[in-house]
Amino acid sequence: MIKLLCVDTSGRAPCPIAENLDPASLRGFKTLGGVRLGDDFPDLTIQLTDGDECPSGLVDYFQVGLLNIASLKLRKVLEDSGAEVEYLPIRVLYNGKPSQFEYFVANPLMRFDAIDIANSEVELDEELGDALSVNRLVIDKLKFKNVKLAVIAEIQRIGVQTEVAAAVKSSGCIGCTFIDPISVRY
């Protein structure tokens, strides 16, 4: 079964506000996954500040724009799980000071269409193939055969195998949660 990786916005875990201090440096980079970004990736600094309606503190996973950011702890769990991810080091400032933790852009190297159209209720953009609305989302498990983690192209979200989600949960990583695709609506 496939789970979707999401930022934990439940209010039970910290949910810092993230800002790329130099967004122009990403121009020309395909940051939606599926393409290796490599040595030309810019030297990024991300500023984190505490959110208003959640506990303060740092997390192991967050997003800034289209970038997925992972701590060293989450990186190790994903690597041990065999997830196909490129890690690019970044600087993170927390409340204006350098973070005590290492962080990386976690760039999924796999990206493909994975919605089971016959069993889903989705409206897709005819030109781009992106999901415009979702009432019932079913992922084609065969697309994930031998794949631990990938961007599901139609919804721009990361899908993971259940065992990867379980490994992340059991590691104690905070800031991320995993949901069933069937619960997605928009």
**Percent of the chain topping pLDDT 70:** 100
pLDDT of residue 56: 95
CA 134 to each of CA 52, 87, 153, 174: distance values in angstroms, whole numbers, following the listed order: 30, 31, 14, 28
Q: How far apart are alpha carbons 92 and 105 in whole angstroms?
A: 11
Nearest to 75 by CA among 102, 114, 40: 102
Instruction: Give CA–CA dist 167/175, Å, rounded.
Output: 15
pLDDT surpasses 90 at 53: no
> What's the pLDDT tens digit per position in 2-52?
999 999 999 999 999 999 999 999 998 989 899 999 988 999 999 999 988
Q: What is the pLDDT averaged over residues 122-135?
A: 93
| pTM score over 0.85 | yes
The alpha carbon of residue 114 and the mean position of all alpha carbons in its chain are separated, in whole angstroms, by: 16
Domain that holds residue 73: 2-183
Give the number of domains in the chain: 1
Give helix 162-171 / helix 72-81 axis angle, nearest 10°.
140
Contacting residues for 146 by C-beta, under 8 A, at least 6 apart? none
